[in-house]
Structure 1
């Protein structure tokens, strides 16, 4: 008697042995991706409530309970929501400027060893300067308005982008570089078809590191500016003793950073579809 076997259909067709559970686990990733962040948020809010209200370990003047922050957020929404728009605009514009400049500088450093030796120490020195100390000097140099904020964002963001771009362009896989040489590709053809696409994963690493720094730079810049963003509102409300509202502004900054980082992650997924197909997933 012969045994009839049914061939599996779908994405897991032909996958047997230890790979089959991995395929089944991969199907459940979208559910976990949506639920786990919410679970982490619930745990964080619970710990916050326990520290401030449940056990009373921290005075409300230093860290208001989450319910007080939520109430202040609702009551001052007409002030904080427009401030959120201003801070988001400064963050995005400054990040885009630093991304363009950082990628171009990284390309230049990767293209010339002499340029790298000349300017790499200067870039490290600029990055080492405490940016908060530059706030008043930027106001003196550029005056009031958006320029000091954008400059602060740029100074905080550009270094990781430069470093990741230069690293990606100087670590092209040997087999791809040899293939370009065997085809007698010019420098521009090799850069456009091989080196830069191979460096894009590293470039996005620098961009994702720089995105939260952009939000930090925007808030620091608003500390010394007349722009009524969230950083400006934090100083104003904290100065009059309304710490709950100041913390509401901080919560909005955190939410803004998560949203912008998630958008950048989505751009990476859409722009580099081959990365997940050619690397192992957790």
Structure 2
């Protein structure tokens, strides 16, 4: 794929995103007008202009904490992807593992993060490890389910054709089942990546030295809702950027869909 293809894809993406951008702008304008007309205190509801101004003034601290959150997010998500892929392959080759492990994974998703996060921080300290574990816990199961369902969606005629040509179980997996799972994988990727940043911030909120979670906690304790909202906007920007990267990765890795 050349630069022209990327440019055309970006233009189509911007065109599709235009309605959402207009909606966001209208919401911000309405918010600004309401604050101006109502006379509400800035300590209760700061205007978007004040949030932007104070966020810009605190940009160095915000950037430092955002980098810490992004590091925890990407590290935890990488662990989640690796574990989900390895286990999905094991489940595909040994179906008994699905009946043995899936109930455990389902139970892990029912655990309230608000209760688990402080315990994980208590057990593993205030470093990077508890953030990685919590992000992996939150994002692991959607990726695993997406991959396993993707393998099962493989066209049976392709499987029979490969086996008639002498392909073994491993060759069928790599040549048919894994490519068939790609659309499912990227659907799970887009879902999971939106949870990853939130999980990292929640883990920091439970206990950390740096990160947007700590920044939000300190701003809240100092009665600075403008800085709280600035950090929220930064976290939203991180989530949207990671989501866009997931969409771009899907576009780049599946040329047959572009065709």
Report 1:24-35 matches (<5 A).
31-35=11-15
2:29 matched residue in structure 1 = 49
Normalized per residue, the structure richer in helix is 2
Q: Based on CA coordinates, which of the two structures has the bigger radius of gyration?
A: 1
User: Is 1:210 matched up with 2:187?
Assistant: no
User: Cα distance 1:59–1:28, how it changes in 2: closer, same or farther (>3 A)?
Assistant: farther
The match for 2:20 among 31, 40, 60 is: 40
Deviation at 1:90, TM superposition (A): 1.0
Deviation at 1:32, TM superposition (A): 4.6
1:24 matched residue in structure 2 = none
Residue-pair matches, total: 251
8 Å contact 2:32–2:49 — kept in the other structure? no
The match for 2:96 among 110, 114, 119 is: 114
Report 1:17-166 matches (<5 A).
31-37=11-17, 40-51=20-31, 53-54=33-34, 56=38, 60-166=42-148
Separation in structure 1 between the aligned mates of residue 43 and residue 22 of structure 2, nearest angstrom: 23
1:17 matched residue in structure 2 = none
Q: Which has the higher contact order (CA 8 A, sep 6+)?
A: 2
What SS class does the counterpart of residue 228 from structure 1 fall into? coil
Deviation at 1:110, TM superposition (A): 2.2
Deviation at 1:247, TM superposition (A): 0.4
Structure 2 unaligned residues grouped into runs of 5+? 1-6
User: Is 1:186 matched up with 2:146?
Assistant: no
8 Å contact 1:50–1:56 — kept in the other structure? no
The match for 1:228 among 202, 210, 218 is: 210
What SS class does the counterpart of residue 78 from structure 1 fall into? helix
What SS class does the counterpart of residue 199 from structure 2 fall into? helix
Structure 1 unaligned residues grouped into runs of 5+? 1-26, 278-282
TM-score w.r.t. structure 2 length? 0.90
Deviation at 1:39, TM superposition (A): 5.1
TM-score w.r.t. structure 1 length? 0.83
8 Å contact 2:76–2:132 — kept in the other structure? yes
